[in-house]
Every structure is written in structure tokens, then in C-alpha cells.
């Protein structure tokens, strides 16, 4: 099979196009998705190809169009709702948290909500406190939502396609900083579906496991490279999905390395890493040769200043230090 | 009741020049990567904020969205503090922590700089509520774009303002576009002011390219609100010459449309009015413009030479002591 190199943005675009072509119930709705071709150009060319009935520009009314999506899903359409960024999904929090995931239970199993909420999530670069939210920990707290966080073009395409076919509300948390990154992927005619809830080892290692997702995956790979020079062999485990969580993959890797650092892009207090650390100590405590370490954002609103922003983010210095700590190096 | 301070029209022309020259410098500094994040320029819209400010007292409150540099400058925040904020420096109006979209200046009653579309409109109600609560005769000016009028927060805020008779003036800066979406593509009504009328809020339209038209209309509206607290709504029709933000090529609009508005430039218009009336000579205008350019350039130097916010202060503003 001839693998080819494409960008994360193109991969998402292919996934959208393929799912729109496959199922007439799928439509894409959001701010600037149609005529502008997407604020980040993810929906480039889709209006031209699928027309204004299926690629729909909205006013700046997140609560409204997210709710419209949930309603349409109740009667069998399969909406893909784009948030220009997930920081703006907070305006639609009620729809995403209260309506979409509760419906199936509240209706005694009558109404499932096959909807995808997607868009860039997490800090980008110097966007300040209102525009830098990593929302995964907020949404991960909600039963009924599924959440994936692709870090590579291949995962972006395969996870988004799976998300569209899932019969539940799925959040596809993309990353602005990754849109232009490149990676190898199967040719277009190959049906690429990556299951939700399956982690992937992005780099094999034997001394320590770095559990990561989204923006912390390229960070972990860079750090692993650097640690290699200091004779520390780090395994990089990309969760790919936050919920469901691939616990088996985590335990398997930790049983091999016996040391683990969780590198998350959200905040420490009740962050995704807190849950992972708890499960590791609960289920495979005996495998650990050191306490589990965690690297995350600092617990402060995001400052605009570049140096301070860097200090708040989970960065290479923090990750290297955490790895060395668990390795007693 | 205190009357508004008389603001000299030449002084207001100077303010518009300062805003324009400041933003031209900001644009240049953004391109040379001295400024990060998102940066939205106000160039073309100067008459709206200048006209509005000319009709207010210095103790009135203002609040706006993320296209906020001009509003801070108009309120009296120094060009130095504004540029330093864009550079993320400790001397910036938000100590380098807010950035372009989050300018704040308590001393000058500038209550932000808010980057979530529509989210500050309820805050304006709160500011106005506090004034009424304390029996003050201040008014609150709340600026927002045409894109904000489709947010739920906007609708809830207008209803609250009308219900509680709050002394707040909603000023919709209608520059015809919200990013690439024109008003016709975002709004079901033919006229934006119908939105306000739906909440029983008196509303009017002004030519936002004309300083005097904005000032005179706002003076009338403000006088009425000050006398007997109630909300009011003003749609200022205007245009931004630049893209939505520094990264937007604005290919959704025509050259002809842009040219049409450029010919109606607010600075050129006030200059012509003052020259015709004999209050302004060409020499004086050149001098003002030179001053404005110098202030903008000086602000860059100030920002460059200022210190970054100290790392040690990272946690200082998460909770109040
Ligand atoms: C809730 C929310 N959704 C989307 C955005 C992204 N966004 C920023 S500005 C903007 C357009 C706003 O246009 P308008 O209100 O007309 O103001 P203008 O930019 O023209 O001054 C959009 C969609 C945002 N900041 N907040
Ligand atoms: Mg606008």
C-alpha cells in the first residue's frame, strides 16, 4: 500500500468529505464553514462539492446551532457541528453537557444523539485567557459523551470518520497548532476507521512510559528523543481517546516500564491526568517502581505574555524533569 | 447633573489620528512578530468611538469587544500602555497578561476588552445596574459588532436592561461583516435596530463615518438616559478597512466596496469640515498628524524597552487577596 504524506487539516477535510459522500444524513454546520471555507480551512472546498444544503454557515450563535444539531439528531440526521474553537463551545455548554448526552437516559432509551462536535481545542499561541481553554477535562466529567483527541493526520481522519458513524455524541478535539503538521496516511480509497477508545504506542521504550494525547504527543516525542541521548528510553503512549479510556494499553506499557509520567494539556485540578493516575495506582500499583508523575498546565488563567504562557503550559522542561524524577536519574 | 465636558473638535480629530497611526504601527509590529495572538484593527471606524466619547463625561463607563485598542485610547489610556500591552509587557494596560483582545483600564473607566462575542453585553447591564443602585448619574456605553446581535447573551441582556430600566447605551458598530459573514447572511431582520425595538428599547441609526453625526446623536441619547435611567440602542454604520484580524485577507468583499468607504474616510471628513469652517489650517493638520505618528512611534520604543511581567507574579492574579 502506498502511504502518502498529508497535513492534519487535509486529513480532517478528507474525513468530512468521505462521510458526507457516504451518508446523506450527514451535514456540517458552524461559523464560517461554508463560504469562508472554515476559519482554519478544514472545510475547504466542501461547500463547492456538497452545496449549501449540507454545508451551512451560521450566525455567531453557538448555543443555538449546537442545540439545532441535537434536535436534528433526535430525528435521525447526523450533524457535524463545528465550533470555531472549543473555547466558544462554552457558550453552548448547556447543549453539549445537558441535552446531547442526557437524552438517551432521560427518554428511557428512545432517543440516542448521533452528533459530532468538533473544532480546535486547547491553547494555541498567545490567545489569552478566554481563547485558550483545554476543555477535555470539563467534558470528560460528563457521562454519555465520547471524546477523542487526534494528534496525527492519520488519527485525525480515522477518528473523525468513526465519530460520525457512532450513535452517540462524540467530541473530536482537534488542535490549532497541529493543523499544518504532516504525517503518513493510507491512500484515499482505503477506508480508514480508527476505533474510539484505542490508544497507540507512538514510540517504543523500556525505561518510562509517557502517557499523552493531542498537543502533548509531539511534545512527548521530542522529549523522548532528547532523553535517548541521556540513555533514558521513553515509551510514548498516545491515548487518542479520553473517553472511553484505553486502560489496558496504559497498564500494558506500565507493566513493561514500571515508571510513568502523564502529560496532559489541560489544567491539574480535576484534569484528565488525575483520573489516569488514580486508575494506575488502583489497578497496577505493584508494577510501579516510582510514584506516578503528572505534567499539566499551571492552575491559573492563561496569560497573554509569551514567556508566562510558556511557563503555564506543559512544556519540555517540565516533562524532562518529571521523567528524570520517576527514573531517579 | 454634571454636563459633559466640552471636547474641542480639533482635539477629537487628533484622537482619531492617534488611533489610526497607533494601529498602523501595531500592524507593522505584528508583522515583525513583536505582537502575538490575535490582533483586530479598528482602522476606518474611528468616528464611532471618537464621536461617542466626545458626548460622554470622563466618569461614564465604557465596555467593548476585542476590537478594543481605539476604545482604550479614546478613554485616555496612553498609547504607551496600549502598545506595551500588545507587546505583552508589564507596563501594559493589563500588565501584559491580557493582550490585544483584553485591554482594561480601571482608572479611565474602561471595563474591557472582551473576546467572547456577545459575552460582555450582560456585563454592561451590570455596570449600569451598579450606577443606578448607587444613585449615580453615570451612563454605560456598550460597544459590540453586528455579529454579536445573534448571541443569546445579547438578547438576554437587552431584555434585562429594558426590564430594570438600566442606564446603558448599546452601540452596535455595524461594519457590515462578522469575519466573512455579511449582516444579510447572519441576521433575519432587515434592520438591526428592530432587535432593540423588540425589547421596547428606543433605537436609532447614525452615520458612523461622520464624527459630528455620532457625537450629536449620542449627546442627545445620553442626556435622555442621564435624566431618567433607561436603555437606548444606537446602530453606527461603519466599515473596517482591514481584514477581520491580521490573518484575514478579507477576500469576501469587493475592492469597490472598500474604495467607496475609503472615500468617505472619517478623518478626511472632519478635517474638511474644520478646514472649510476656518478652524483648521493645513499646517495645523500636518502638525497634528506628525504628533500622532510620533506618539505611535514613541509607544513602540516604550514597549520595546519595558520589562516583561515577572515569572514570580504568575499566580498573583488568580485570586484576589
Ligand atoms: C462566542 C464566540 N464565537 C466566535 C468567536 C470568533 N469570532 C471572533 S470575532 C468574530 C466576528 C464578530 O463580528 P462582529 O461582531 O461583527 O464584530 P467585528 O469583528 O466586525 O468588529 C467571530 C466569529 C468568538 N470570539 N466568540
Ligand atoms: Mg462586524
pLDDT in tens, A198-214: 999 999 999 999 999 99
Q: Indicate the SS3 state at residue A171.
A: strand
Query: Which residue spans within chain B are E strands per DSSP?
Result: 61-64, 110-113, 140-145, 168-174, 177-178, 181-182, 203-207, 232-237
Ligand 1: which atom is nearest the Cα of residue B148? 15
Same domain as A155, residue A29: yes
Active site residues of A: 62, 131
Domain range for A309? 200-326
Domain membership flag for residue A190: no
Same domain as A105, residue A140: yes
Q: What number is the average pLDDT over the span A165-180? A: 98
Within chain B, what is the greatest distance between any pair of CA atoms? Answer: 57
Structural domains counted in chain A: 2
Distance A323 CA to ligand 1 centre (A): 41
| Helical spans, DSSP H, in A107-206 | 136-140, 153-165
Q: What is the pLDDT of residues A274-294, one digit of tens each?
A: 999 999 999 999 999 999 999
Same domain as A251, residue A127: no
Euclidean distance between the first and final Cα of chain B, in Å? 37
Residues facing residue B235 across a β-bridge? B172, B205
The last residue of one of the domains, among A154, A185, A216, is: A185
Q: Which residue of B has its CA nearest to A305?
A: B88
Query: Which CATH number do you get for residue A111?
Result: 3.40.50.970
Same domain as A145, residue A21: yes
Same domain as A312, residue A178: no
Nearest by CB to residue A128, choosing from B98, B118, B181, is B98
Distance CA A271, CA A268 (A): 5
pTM above 0.90, yes or no: yes
Structure confidence at residue A99 (pLDDT): 98
Chain B closest-CA separation from residue A126 CA (Å)? 5
The last residue of one of the domains, among A185, A209, A228, is: A185
Distance A39 CA to ligand 1 centre (A): 11
Query: Which residue spans within A230-291 are E strands per DSSP?
Result: 234-238, 241-243, 260-263
Q: CB B179 to CB A31 under 8 A?
A: yes
CA angle B181, A118, A178 (to 5 degrees): 95
Structure confidence at residue A329 (pLDDT): 86
Domain membership flag for residue A72: yes
Domain membership flag for residue A90: yes
Same domain as A29, residue A81: yes
Distance CA A262, CA A322 (A): 9
Structure confidence at residue A11 (pLDDT): 98
- The arrangement of secondary structure in B9-253+274-304, i.e. its CATH architecture, is 3-Layer(aba) Sandwich (3.40)
Distance CA B143, CA B121 (A): 8
Domain membership flag for residue A193: no
Per-residue pLDDT tens, chain B, 321 aa: give them.
665 666 899 999 999 999 999 999 999 999 999 999 999 999 999 999 999 999 999 999 999 999 999 999 999 999 999 999 999 999 999 999 999 999 999 999 999 999 999 999 999 999 999 999 999 999 999 999 999 999 999 999 999 999 999 999 999 999 999 999 999 999 999 999 999 999 999 999 999 999 999 999 999 999 999 999 999 999 999 999 999 999 999 999 999 999 999 999 999 999 999 999 999 999 999 999 999 999 999 999 999 999 999 999 899 999 999
- For the cut 80, the answer to whether the pLDDT of residue A325 exceeds it is yes
Q: Is the minimum distance from the CB of B250 to ligand 1 under 6 angstroms?
A: no
DSSP labels, A141-165: TSTT-EEE---SHHHHHHHHHHHHH
Q: A-B interface: how many C-beta pairs under 8 angstroms?
A: 120
In this structure, what C-alpha cell is assigned to residue A65? 446551532
- Average predicted confidence (pLDDT) for chain A: 98
For residue A59, the chain B residues in CB contact (below 8 A) are 147, 150, 178, 181, 186-187
In this structure, what C-alpha cell is assigned to residue A86? 472549543
Residues facing residue A129 across a β-bridge? none
- Taking the Cβ of residue B179 and every Cβ of chain A, the question of whether any pair is shorter than 8 Å is answered with yes
Same domain as A256, residue A137: no
Same domain as A259, residue A178: no
Q: Is the minimum distance from the CB of A92 to ligand 1 under 6 angstroms?
A: no
Nearest by CB to residue A91, choosing from B114, B115, B116, is B116
Distance CA A43, CA A82 (A): 10
Same domain as A89, residue A175: yes
Task: Determine phi and psi for A294, rounding to 5 degrees.
Answer: -135, 135
Give the count of beta carbons closer than 10 Å to the beta carbon of residue B1. 7
Domain membership flag for residue A194: no
CA angle B154, B72, B141 (to 5 degrees): 35
Kind plus residue range of the DSSP H or E element containing A185 = strand A182-185
The last residue of one of the domains, among A185, A218, A243, is: A185
Domain membership flag for residue A20: yes
Same domain as A291, residue A143: no
Contact B77, B92 (CB under 8 A): no
Structure confidence at residue A80 (pLDDT): 99
Domain membership flag for residue A166: yes
Q: What number is the average pLDDT over the span A50-70? A: 98
Structure confidence at residue A90 (pLDDT): 98
Q: CB A128 to CB B115 under 8 A?
A: yes
Neighbouring residues of A181: CB distance < 8 A, sequence distance ≥ 6: A7, A8, A152, A153, A218
Q: Indicate the SS3 state at residue A311.
A: helix
Structure confidence at residue B26 (pLDDT): 98
Structure confidence at residue A24 (pLDDT): 98
Q: What is the pLDDT of residues A34-49, one digit of tens each?
A: 999 999 999 999 999 9
- What DSSP designation does A202 have? E
For residue A87, the chain B residues in CB contact (below 8 A) are 116
In this structure, what C-alpha cell is assigned to residue A23? 451518508
- Which residue bears the cell 505618528? B293
Structure confidence at residue B7 (pLDDT): 81
Q: What is the pLDDT of residues A102-158, one digit of tens each?
A: 999 999 999 999 999 999 999 999 999 999 999 999 999 999 999 999 999 999 999
Same domain as A139, residue A210: no
Structure confidence at residue B216 (pLDDT): 97
Distance CA B264, CA B268 (A): 8
Same domain as A262, residue A158: no
Query: Which CATH number do you get for residue A236?
Result: 3.40.50.920
Q: What number is the average pLDDT over the span A1-7? A: 93
Interface test with B, best of A60, A95, A299, A302 (most B CBs within 10 A): A60
Neighbouring residues of B34: CB distance < 8 A, sequence distance ≥ 6: B86, B87, B300, B303, B304
Domain membership flag for residue A195: no
Dihedral angle computed from the Cα positions of residues A171, A23, A47 and A30, in that order, rounded to the nearest 10 degrees: -30
Amino acid at each position: 500500500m502506498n502511504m502518502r504524506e498529508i497535513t492534519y487539516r487535509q486529513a480532517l477535510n478528507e474525513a468530512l468529505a468521505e462521510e458526507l459522500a457516504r451518508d446523506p444524513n450527514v451535514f456540517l454546520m458552524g461559523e464560517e464553514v461554508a463560504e469562508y471555507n472554515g476559519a482554519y480551512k478544514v472545510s475547504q472546498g466542501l461547500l463547492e462539492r456538497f452545496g449549501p444544503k449540507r454545508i451551512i454557515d451560521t450566525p455567531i450563535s453557538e448555543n443555538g446551532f449546537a442545540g439545532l444539531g441535537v434536535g436534528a439528531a433526535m430525528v435521525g440526521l447526523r450533524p457535524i457541528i463545528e465550533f470555531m474553537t472549543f473555547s466558544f463551545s462554552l457558550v453552548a455548554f448547556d447543549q453539549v453537557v445537558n441535552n446531547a448526552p442526557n437524552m438517551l437516559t432521560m427518554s428511557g432509551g428512545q432517543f440516542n444523539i448521533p452528533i459530532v462536535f468538533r473544532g480546535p481545542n486547547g491553547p494555541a499561541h498567545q490567545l489569552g485567557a478566554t481563547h485558550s481553554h483545554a476543555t477535555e477535562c470539563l467534558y470528560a466529567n460528563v457521562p454519555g459523551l465520547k471524546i477523542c483527541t487526534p494528534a496525527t493526520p492519520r488519527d485525525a481522519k480515522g477518528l473523525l470518520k468513526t465519530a460520525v458513524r457512532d450513535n452517540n455524541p462524540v467530541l473530536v478535539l482537534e488542535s490549532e497548532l497541529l493543523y499544518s503538521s504532516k504525517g503518513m496516511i493510507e491512500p484515499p480509497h482505503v477506508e480508514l476507521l480508527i476505533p474510539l477508545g484505542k490508544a497507540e504506542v507512538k514510540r517504543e521504550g523500556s525505561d518510562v512510559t509517557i502517557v499523552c494525547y493531542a498537543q502533548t504527543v509531539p511534545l512527548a516525542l521530542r522529549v523522548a528523543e532528547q532523553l535517548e541521548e541521556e540513555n533514558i528510553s521513553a515509551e510514548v503512549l498516545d491515548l487518542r481517546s479520553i473517553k472511553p479510556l484505553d486502560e489496558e494499553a496504559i497498564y500494558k506499557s506500565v507493566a513493561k516500564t514500571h515508571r510513568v509520567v502523564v502529560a496532559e494539556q489541560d489544567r491539574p485540578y480535576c484534569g484528565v491526568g488525575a483520573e489516569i493516575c488514580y486508575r494506575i495506582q488502583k489497578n497496577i500499583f505493584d508494577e510501579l517502581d516510582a510514584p506516578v508523575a503528572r505534567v499539566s498546565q499551571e492552575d491559573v488563567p492563561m496569560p497573554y505574555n509569551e514567556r508566562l504562557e510558556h511557563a503555564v503550559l506543559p512544556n519540555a522542561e517540565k516533562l524532562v524533569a518529571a521523567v528524570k524524577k520517576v527514573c531517579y536519574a | 447633573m454634571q454636563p459633559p465636558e466640552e471636547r474641542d473638535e480639533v482635539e477629537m480629530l487628533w484622537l482619531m489620528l492617534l488611533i489610526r497611526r497607533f494601529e498602523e504601527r501595531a500592524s507593522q509590529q505584528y508583522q515583525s512578530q513583536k505582537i502575538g495572538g490575535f490582533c483586530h484593527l479598528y482602522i476606518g471606524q474611528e468616528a464611532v468611538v471618537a464621536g461617542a466619547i466626545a458626548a460622554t463625561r470622563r466618569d461614564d463607563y465604557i465596555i467593548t469587544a476585542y476590537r478594543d485598542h481605539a476604545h482604550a485610547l479614546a478613554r485616555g489610556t496612553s498609547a504607551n500602555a496600549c502598545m506595551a500591552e500588545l507587546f505583552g509587557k508589564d507596563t501594559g494596560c493589563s500588565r501584559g497578561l491580557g493582550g490585544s483582545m483584553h485591554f482594561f483600564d480601571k482608572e479611565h473607566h474602561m471595563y474591557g476588552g472582551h473576546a467572547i462575542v456577545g459575552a460582555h453585553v450582560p456585563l454592561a447591564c451590570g455596570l449600569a445596574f451598579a450606577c443606578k443602585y448607587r444613585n449615580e448619574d453615570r451612563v454605560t456605553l456598550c460597544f459590540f459588532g453586528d455579529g454579536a446581535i445573534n448571541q443569546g447573551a445579547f438578547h438576554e441582556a437587552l431584555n434585562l436592561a429594558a426590564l430594570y430600566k438600566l442606564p446603558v447605551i448599546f452601540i452596535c458598530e455595524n461594519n457590515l461583516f462578522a469575519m466573512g459573514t455579511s449582516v444579510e447572511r447572519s441576521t433575519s431582520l432587515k434592520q438591526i435596530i428592530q432587535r432593540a425595538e423588540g425589547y421596547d428599547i428606543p433605537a436609532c441609526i447614525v452615520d458612523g463615518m461622520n464624527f459630528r453625526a455620532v457625537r450629536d446623536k449620542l449627546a442627545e441619547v445620553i442626556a435622555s438616559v442621564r435624566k431618567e435611567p433607561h436603555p437606548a440602542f444606537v446602530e453606527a454604520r461603519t466599515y473596517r478597512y482591514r481584514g477581520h484580524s491580521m490573518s484575514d485577507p478579507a477576500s469576501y468583499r469587493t475592492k469597490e466596496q472598500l474604495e467607496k468607504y475609503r472615500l468617505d474616510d472619517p478623518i478626511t471628513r472632519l478635517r474638511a469640515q474644520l478646514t472649510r469652517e476656518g478652524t483648521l489650517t493645513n499646517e495645523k493638520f500636518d502638525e497634528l498628524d506628525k504628533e500622532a505618528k510620533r506618539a505611535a512611534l514613541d509607544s513602540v520604543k516604550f514597549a520595546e524597552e519595558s520589562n516583561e511581567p515577572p515569572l514570580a507574579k504568575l499566580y498573583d492574579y488568580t485570586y484576589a487577596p
